[in-house]
Amino acid sequence: MEIFLYEFGILALIGGVLSAVATSLLGSVVVLRKMSFFGSGIAHLSFIGVGLALFFKFPPTIVTLAVAMAAAIILGFLARRGVHEDIGVGILFSTSMALGIILIYLAKIDNSRVMAYLFGDILAIGWKDVVFSSIVTALVVLYIVFFKDHIIYITFDEDFSKVLGINIPFVYYTFLILLAVSIVVSMNLLGIVLVSAMVVVPAASASLVSRTYQGMFKLAPLISVASVFFGLIFSWNFDIPAGASIVLVQGIVFLFTFLVKILSG
């Protein structure tokens, strides 16, 4: 608990909790829509943004955001025309990493800054990041409160949501854009490599133990927030990288829920 006596520890906790709430709520939809690859795809695609920003000396967060949102919209557009989200991602995934790497190489940036994008640094975030996270998380929570049923209906029975007159493109693209933004925010904490865990793992654990989709929306944020909390404590006590520690805790929770599920039949 000692870590929370320091400002950086408190900032890490607040930032981590905010991003945990946002990613796990949207992650529940991701898991229900069976588009798990999408999160990691957005993060990898955003690496072009990092490359571009470093190359042209633009503010990285803004460029990454723009690239992530564009990627989400393009992939969503493909998905609505029959290319499954995960296939679209698979095609663009490695190409975008390659492009990012080339841009960064050409920009002659020193490796430690690149490492920060790949692996993030939750202990280095500032109040500005926290404010930004709060806004994003508030938007995500509002979206889930008002459009949870809409996006669930679209996922479960798209035809009937047309009968109901639901504005499918609006609900769907808003979801994708919020997902992209949340991923970029979490990338600052966990890095490109680990961010998809934040989206998928707590929601997947929740899906194992909750019977209904409503239950998932309650349980996934709880699991994710708890993982951030204990992940930070473990990282301090065992002197291991914080982001990796959080993701490891999430993985252990998943394993645990999986065992509970199997043992309880």
Partner 1 sequence: MKCEYCLEVKNLTVRYGDIVALKDVNFSLEKGKFYTIVGPNGGGKSTLVKTIVGIIEDYDGQVQIFGKDRDEYLREKLVGYVPQIGAFTRFPIRVIDIVLMGLFRERKFRFKKQHYKKALKALERVNMEGFSRRLIHELSGGQRQRVMIARAIVSKPEILIMDEPTVGLDTESQGNFFRLVKELNETGMTVIVVTHDVGFVSEHSDGILCINKKLVVHAKDVDELPEEFFAKLYGYNVKAVLHNHKR
For residue 157, state whether it binds partner 1 (rule: CB under 8 A): yes
For residue 112, state whether it binds partner 1 (rule: CB under 8 A): no
For residue 220, state whether it binds partner 1 (rule: CB under 8 A): no
- Which residue in 108, 111, 112, 163 binds partner 1 (CB under 8 A)? 163
CA atoms 5, 129, 231, 218: torsion sign:
positive
**Region near partner 1 per CB under 8 A, out of 81-89, 164-172, 242-250, 256-264:** 164-172
For residue 134, state whether it binds partner 1 (rule: CB under 8 A): no
For residue 155, state whether it binds partner 1 (rule: CB under 8 A): yes
- Which residue in 6, 105, 127, 146 binds partner 1 (CB under 8 A)? 146
Number of residues that bind partner 1 (CB under 8 A): 23
Between residues 7 and 157, which has the closer beta carbon with respect to partner 1?
157
Between residues 216 and 247, which has the closer beta carbon with respect to partner 1?
216
Is the CB of residue 204 less than 8 Å from the CB of residue 252? no
Chain contacts with partner 1 (rule: CB under 8 A): 32, 146, 149, 152-153, 155-157, 159-160, 162-166, 207, 210-216
